[in-house]
A and B are shown apart, each in its own frame.
Chain A
Amino acid sequence: MTTLITGGFGFIGAHVVKKFTDAGESVVVTSYENLEPPSFLRQEVKNGLLIKQIDIGEPGAIERLSKEHNVNTIINLAIHRKSSSDPAEDIRINMDKLSHFFEGALKSGVEKLFWASNGAIFAELPEGPFYEDTAVSLSGAIQPGAFKKAWEVLAHNFAQNYQIQSSLKIVSMRISGVFGPTYRSMLNLPSRLCHAASKNLPPDFSAQRGGVPYSDDTFDLTYAKDVAAAVLALYEADDLPHLVYNISRGTTVRAQELVDAVTKVKSNFTPQLQQGAGPRFRANAYLDNSRVLKDSKWEPKFHIESAIEDYLDWLDSGEQY
């Protein structure tokens, strides 16, 4: 029984691969662009971790890999980087990838497919919390939200609404904002704060990043190691009664609390925020996590302060990201 982890050298993917190999699972990793493993996977690579440089969105790729390695579970964490500025072509690329992926999983007899989604599907809702069965708006204004929504809608149809030979079960994992080692895009606030504090620089509050944050704005954030543990726990659960699981700490954190957690470790790091809540504040904007807590053995190990401390340790050890 082998687990195929797509996007296995990506940010979340690498943490998931680490959790799976630590747990003694047999894994095959795909990585298309990223061929350099993060330092915490170097030992696994030396020990012969199977790495395939492949674009899982290509026709036949999933079927070929799954058959070749006798794959019984797929954890899809690959970000589909290929996109187009032509909107029709962009939709075609993204929707083709989905269909190639599911067709491959069906044809190769894969039993379980864990599919990464996120809270962007709730972007149009005025407030949370967001439960797994919270209804959504079919408007498609926001790009990642639009494609994630369409994928989720279409994915469950493949698995459930046809008379098919395969016993494929598709589980959507709606993952909150994630921060921690090897995060690169620097969109989320804790990563920018920790990088700045570790280098003894002021944080990047440029207009391009949204300006100086508001102290009372809130985020739904989970530490990368906890997210990876949740994926493993869902994989290990004998029988998941649901098709969608939120992965989140199940609460919000204020911008000021993030700053304070960094200041606690780096006492001379004291950036000033704008006071109050910003214009885009939404109350209780987090993914409820009671379902994953009930149906798996996962519980988050890191609160914000311990996560920030762990992350700063990692950056202070000389890691670039």
Chain B
Amino acid sequence: MTVLITGGMGFIGLHTTKALVEAGEDVVITYYQTWREPSFIKDEFGKRVTVEKADVSQPAVIEELAKKHNVEHIVHLAVPGVAALSAYEDYRVNMNGLIGVLEAATNAKVKRLSLASSIATYHSLPSGPYKETDLLPVQSANPTETFKKAWEILSFHYADRTGLEVIAMRIGGIWGPLYHSMMNLPSRLAHAAYNGTEPDYSRGIPFAEDTGDVCYVKDCAEGIKLIVTKEKLEHRIYNISSGIAVTNQQLVDAALSVEPNAKLSLQPGKSPAYKENNFLDMSRAESELGFVNKFGPKEAMADYIEWLKEGNEQ
């Protein structure tokens, strides 16, 4: 099978590519601006992995690639960077990108289209655990929450009208090698522990008891691989994350277990934004896909810091 991953040269995309190649699939990955060739996959470029430059917001671009490479499955991960564009451009790229992959999937007779949705869809709920069946508020607090909700509404509408199989993957906070925006805390802690510096707390010092559902990128890639390769799926929304509300203190402790001398501190207590049971319910992906996280916070931190120590592209 050939899988096309839009934004496949991004952080999650490259790890997913590796997981799919190891499962015996051929992968076409697209990139827009940034070329990357991390050690774990570059030897497959030009072999199992084909790289194509593509602007997903332009009509028919993905469709042509899907036809050219006899693609049987599309994974749509490409999105503009957070806060990179104006309101209008952000809208144009997100929505035209979605419509482009919907058309590509139909016209190239792709078996299944899997979309990167996000834990952000649950952002405006007061507490968790977050289930795929939860009803969600119309108003959204940020553009990511907005566009992922709009993607799901419109792509399910499209699926109902055309019969295309569309799967929304609600992906948790993902961290690990190649992560570069440094928005999430575990990535900043890993970098600080490796560099022997204070973490970047320019957005404020995190609270020790605040929690989040973060998932190591290699586990996330396995989850996406299962969505792609499973012959028959019973539902059209799947949470993909750790299913655990890990505290910031546990993340610091994980980093300290790898680098005991790291200078990592937090402020005590909980922030006003603290939510109870702030994690994704993973029972659907566990029971249907057999999805399990192989990396706990400590194993993940050790793996990430080891990667940084090896001198890899960060």
* Contact partners of B141 in chain A: CB under 8 A: 161
| Residues 105-133 of chain A, each 1 if its beta carbon lies under 8 Å from chain B, else 0 | 01000000000000001000100000001
Decide yes or no whether B269 CB sits under 8 A from chain A. Answer: no
The one of B102, B143, B149 in contact with A138, judged by C-beta atoms closer than 8 angstroms, is B149
A residues 164-220 in Cβ contact with B at 8 Å = 164
B91 touches A158 (CB 8 A): yes
| Known A-B contacts A88-B103, A88-B106, A156-B139; A162 and B87 likewise in contact (beta carbons under 8 Å) | yes
B residues 86-134 in Cβ contact with A at 8 Å = 86-88, 90-92, 95-96, 99, 102-103, 106, 121, 125, 134
Q: How far is the CA of A198 from the CA of B223 in the complex (A)?
A: 63
Decide yes or no whether A99 CB sits under 8 A from chain B. Answer: yes
| Known A-B contacts A161-B141, A161-B143; A137 and B135 likewise in contact (beta carbons under 8 Å) | yes
B158 touches A161 (CB 8 A): no
Counting contact residues on chain B (CB < 8 A from A), the size range is 35 or more
A residues 84-107 in Cβ contact with B at 8 Å = 87-88, 91-92, 95, 99, 102-103, 106
Decide yes or no whether B205 CB sits under 8 A from chain A. Answer: no
B156 touches A153 (CB 8 A): no
* Contact partners of B158 in chain A: CB under 8 A: 87-88, 91, 140
Decide yes or no whether B140 CB sits under 8 A from chain A. Answer: yes
Residues of A in contact (CB 8 Å), total: 36
* Contact partners of A137 in chain B: CB under 8 A: 135-136
Number of A-B contacts (CB under 8 A): 118
B125 nearest CB neighbor, chain A only: A135
B102 touches A91 (CB 8 A): yes
A158 nearest CB neighbor, chain B only: B87
B138 touches A99 (CB 8 A): no
* Contact partners of A133 in chain B: CB under 8 A: 137, 139
The one of A88, A125, A138, A152 in contact with B152, judged by C-beta atoms closer than 8 angstroms, is A138
Decide yes or no whether A157 CB sits under 8 A from chain B. Answer: yes
Decide yes or no whether B150 CB sits under 8 A from chain A. Answer: yes
A138 touches B121 (CB 8 A): yes
B91 touches A99 (CB 8 A): yes
| Known A-B contacts A88-B102, A162-B86; A136 and B154 likewise in contact (beta carbons under 8 Å) | no
In order of increasing CB-CB distance, the 7 nearest A-B pairs are A140-B157, A135-B135, A157-B146, A146-B157, A87-B161, A138-B152, A162-B87
**Can you spell out 13 A-B residue pairs with CB atoms less than 8 angstroms apart?**
A91-B154, A91-B157, A95-B95, A135-B138, A136-B137, A138-B152, A140-B156, A150-B154, A156-B140, A157-B143, A161-B87, A161-B141, A164-B86
